Structure 1
Amino acid sequence: MLMWFVRIYDTNEPDEKKLLDAVSCVSLLVAAYLMSVIILDHLFTFRFLVRIFTFVVLLLLLSSPLCIVLRAGKRDSSSIHRSLISEEQRFGDEIDAHDTRDFQEEDKDDLNLLQAMCSVNFWILFFAMACGMGSGLATVNNLGQIGESLGYSSFETNTLVSLWSIWNFLGRFGAGYVSDHFLHVKGWARPLFMVLTLSSMSVGHAVMASGWPGALYAGSIMVGVCYGSQWSLMPTIASEIFGVKHMGTIFNAITVASPVGSYIFSVRVVGYIYDAEASRSGCQGTHCFMLSFLIMASATLLGSLAALALFSRTKSFYNQVILRRLQHSLRE
């Protein structure tokens, strides 16, 4: 229903990055605020007036991006300013027209879904996502039962699930920012960060399998951040390898790996082992989920090896095409 309000503006504002950075800072501030409130609410019992105050502060934080947008609208309201920008852009386009045509001729054509599915890179990415996203979903889907088997109260497990959402957000936000930085500055191919996040997720699953005191919190942080990272890295890698023309279709085809992996790990691994343990001696203790998390740790480690293969296959492509594309966009 809100698509009617969407408009495309052909502009080249030098301060757009400042606005995006401002909105990003607000998002991080909201996440930090929510995390602080959740932890403090876990440690202390908030009175009614304190809850109202924290809610009002949250509303103010959530409405602050609107102030940023309104300020940007006032700044860009001058039609003369926009006309000058369009004239400058038209002049620059005429100068760089020949270079742009040469660059597009050297660049690879965008692939459609069928062409992408016929490539090995598509299925490597699909398999890596099934391991990462599937095991991550299986973890969050069973946090309640895991906490119950380890003696956590329902309030503690609910707090853990709430914090998981923040770890997920930080993973999505951080992986995109960090991978962009190192791609632009160091020229590191983005699949390398998928290798790092999947291997870190494997460590997180192993920590949760140990059953040590506090292992559920520490492991859920690692798994949550790395799970969110996959949702940030995968669509960007897909757009860079297969092109942006059919990116929506290819992206949604790869996201099928998430429910497929979730079904395998949640039902065939965690659910099956939990039911088997419960039928024998009841599920109280680390034995209820230790084997399940060791299996998921092995799967995510295998997924990181698949991502390493994708990194090796696409390293030259990133050096020859993606970096040149970035340099060309900077010249424009």
Structure 2
Amino acid sequence: MSSWPSSAHWLGLVGTIWLQTINGPNSDFPVYSSQLKELKGISQVQLNFLAFASDAGKLFGWFSGVAALYVPLPLVAFVGACFGLVGYGVQYLLVDSPGLKFWHLFLLTALAGNGICWINTVCFLLSVKNFASRSRVAVSLATSYLGLSAKVYTSLAETMPRLADSKAKTYLLLNAVVPVIVTVFVAPALRLFDLKSDSMSSTDTTFLVMFAITLATGACAVVGSIGSTASWLSSRQQMVSLSVLLAVPILIPVALKMNKIGEAKREKDDAVVVIEVTDLETTAAEEEVGGLQLLKKPDFWLYFLSYMFSGTLGLVFLNNLGQIAESRGLGRTSTLVSLSSSFGFFGRLLPSFMDYYSAKSGHSISRTGSMASLMAPMACAFFMLLNQGSVFLYASTAIIGTCTGAMTSVAVSATIELFGAKNFAVNHNVLVSNIPVGSLCFGYFSALLYQREASKRGAATCSGASCYQATFAIWGASCVVGTLLCVVLYVRSRS
């Protein structure tokens, strides 16, 4: 570790924010999935397998955790970006070719999905290690920007000149190139350093400024999504305003650096080093558990299953959003995807606010309790989808996006709370293996029901609310089960 000035804490956080913003290239899949389905002549079941393929890459995400122990973090992030470059880049080049078979698409998508794990591992480690006393706040703040990925990619695709002769190729090209460009740009800031920091009050003040910027960015994304629906805000205006707000956080480390230079002479002989102790470690499990040892813990399986029946279920819903919108007769799928992305952003940010104010009051909020409270409204949202009205579709999408985003953010801290911080990079990648398992089970089942409804009409595609009626009922019931499991986990880990 290097010992940088305190401004480097925030420079690293800004780099993490930018990485998270572009580290959800799979989130735009619903926008071009229907065209890809038609282009390659694949069935709804096969299309769901492609959505699962991106999640399947997480089965090997623990490799990134091991690599982070021995390899510099900028290189770990670059490896992840290169996996995405190959995975999506080859699809972009050959998607029109009959030689690119379905199993090729599956493997390439899985490779790109694994690359996401590598970049996430870097972002999580930077937030946890470099902001010890406010690690929960830093993690939630940084990961909230992952919720903007779909919005950023859809805005780029609609704003830039036509990059390819089809929508699918445009998104595949952006998914391949954008993460590499951003990773190379922010690589110098991706550093771990000794726990030397400003006073706590200074850190809190800086976080408040960052919260204000983040809220403005999220508001811009939501207004942009609503504006595109009402046709009073152009895609170019959305992209410009969003880009400006995403660039503003860099002013924080610059201002801190200038302030340090101004105070250097007066404080040279009276330097104070504040050794901060992570708030997460004070609530972490007494016994550090790592790797396959997790499988012996009842809490692991409660956490694994409760998350699979809720957070993972939300991701499956978002992966199928394109087909759901098409079956309901909505013209612009990108609008619904942008809406879910924008509300997912606020959902990821919510735990950061809660942790910030709970830390100031000296109380710690249980992560398992937070997760249980987020699962209940998600279950209600799935049952709301049984109503055929478009208003219920938009409202449910916003609720599911918010709760899924919040649980994704909370889960990072929950891993440390339950199993300790020492082996966090490996442990969290083992725990999120529930995502591909849930994606396969729930996605495949919904695709079979979709195909059954379509076959009743003698068509390849299904139209009408009945296409997903049974699916939503099953997903809602599953989410109720997940809520109950998480309540049990909360009771067990409450002490």
* Residue 38 (structure 1) aligns with: 225
Distance 1:108 1:275 in 2: 49
Q: Which residue is equivalent to 1:210? A: 387
User: CA separation of 1:201/1:52 partners in 2, compared to 1, >3 Å: closer, same or farther?
Assistant: closer
Larger radius of gyration: 1
**Cα deviation code 1:16-64 (max 9, x no counterpart):** 2222221222122111012112212221255xxx655554333322221
Please give the secondary structure, in 1, of the residue aligned with 2:483. helix
Tell me which of 2, 5, 10 is aligned to 2:195.
10
Task: Classify 1:201/1:85 alpha carbon distance in 2 versus 1 (closer, same or farther; 3 Å).
Answer: farther
1:8 match: secondary structure:
coil
Q: Which residue pairs with 1:97 in the alignment?
A: none
* Partners of 2:268 and 2:409 in 1: CA distance: 33
Distance 1:185 1:287, change over 3 A: farther
Residue 397 of structure 2 is aligned to residue 220 of structure 1:
yes
The corresponding residue for 1:122 is 300
Structure 1 residue runs of 5 or longer lacking an equivalent are 94-102, 317-332
Alignment-derived partner of residue 475 in structure 2: 296
Q: Name whichever of 126-135 and 243-252 sits farther off.
A: 126-135
Q: Is the alpha carbon distance of 1:230 and 1:124 closer, same or farther for their aligned partners in structure 2, counting shifts above 3 Å?
A: same
**What CA distance in whole angstroms lies between the structure 2 residues aligned with 1:57 and 1:4?**
26
> Is the CA contact (8 Å cut-off) linking 2:368 and 2:490 kept in structure 1?
yes
Matching of residue 167 in structure 1 with residue 343 in structure 2:
yes
Q: Deviations over 1:110-147 (max 9, x none)?
A: 22223332111111111111112321122111112212
Distance 1:41 1:114 in 2: 47
Structure 2 stretches of 5 or more lacking a match?
Answer: 1-73, 75-185
Residue of structure 1 in register with 2:484 after alignment: 305
Q: Which residue of 2 aligns with 1:236?
A: 413
Determine if contact 1:133/1:262 at 8 Å carries over to the other structure.
Answer: no
Shift of 1:300: 1.0
* Equivalent residue for 1:60, pick from 236, 244, 253: 244
Is 1:29 the counterpart of 2:220? The answer is: no
Per-residue deviation, residues 221-244 of structure 1 (Å, max 9, x unmatched): 111111111111111111012110
Aligned residue-pair number? 298
Query: In the alignment, what sits opposite 2:11?
Result: none
Q: In the alignment, is the contact (CA less than 8 A) between 1:133 and 1:257 conserved in 2?
A: no
How many angstroms apart in 2 are the aligned matches of 1:51 and 1:152?
19
* Structure 1 residues 262 and 235: alpha-carbon distance in aligned structure 2, compared to 1, 3 A threshold: same
Local SS of the residue matching 1:84: coil
Aligned to 1:178: 354
Query: 1:284 & 1:83 partners in 2: Cα distance?
Result: 74
Cα 1:60–1:290 change in 2 (3 A) is: same
Q: Is the 8 A contact 1:134 1:264 kept in 2?
A: no
Shifted more, 3-12 versus 255-264: the winner is 3-12
Query: Aligned pair in 2 of structure 1 residues 294, 181: CA closer, same or farther (>3 Å)?
Result: farther
Deviation of residue 210 (structure 1)? Answer: 2.4
In the alignment, the residues of structure 2 paired with residue 113 and residue 245 of structure 1 have an alpha-carbon distance, to the nearest angstrom, of 11
Give CA-to-partner distance per residue, 1:63-85, whole Å, 9 cap, x none: 21111220011112344536634
Question: Does the aligned pair in 2 maintain the 1:168–1:225 contact within 8 Å?
Answer: yes
- The 1:4–1:43 alpha-carbon spacing in structure 2 relative to 1, beyond 3 Å, is closer
Greater CA drift, 275-284 or 164-173: 275-284
**TM-score, scaled to structure 2:** 0.56
Counterpart code for 1:220: T
> 2:178 corresponds to which residue?
none
- The alignment yields a C-alpha RMSD, in angstroms, of 2.7
- In structure 1, the residue matched to 2:328 is 150
Report the TM-score when normalising by structure 1.
0.81
Superposition pairs for residues 266-305 of structure 1, below 5 Å? 266-267=443-444, 269-281=445-457, 283-305=462-484
Change in Cα spacing, 1:73 to 1:261, as seen in structure 2 (3 Å) is same
1:123-180 deviation digits (Å, cap 9, x = unpaired):
1111111112321122111112212222211x2x210101111111111110343256
Q: Determine whether 1:141 maps to 2:319.
A: yes
Which residue of structure 2 aligns with residue 198 of structure 1?
375
Give the Å deviation of 1:3: 4.7
What SS is found at the alignment partner of 1:20? Answer: helix
| Matched-pair contact (CA < 8 Å) for 2:367–2:411 | no
* In structure 1, C-alpha distance between the alignment counterparts of 2:355 and 2:479, rounded to whole Å: 20
How do 1:107-118 and structure 2 match up within 5 A? 108-118=286-296
Contact 1:135–1:261 (Cα < 8 Å) also in 2: yes
Shift of 1:213: 3.8
TM-fit CA distance, 1:293: 0.9
TM-superposition CA deviations, 1:213-269 (whole Å, max 9, x none): 4111011111111111111111111101211000111111111111111111111x2
Structure 2 residue identity aligned to 1:112:
G
Which stretch of structure 1 is more off in the superposition, 137-146 or 243-252?
A: 137-146
- Deviation digits for residues 170-214 of structure 1, max 9, x if unmatched? 111103432564575665522111111111111111111222341
SS at structure 2 position matched to 1:162: helix
Q: Aligned partners of 1:144, 1:207: CA distance in 2, in Å? A: 18
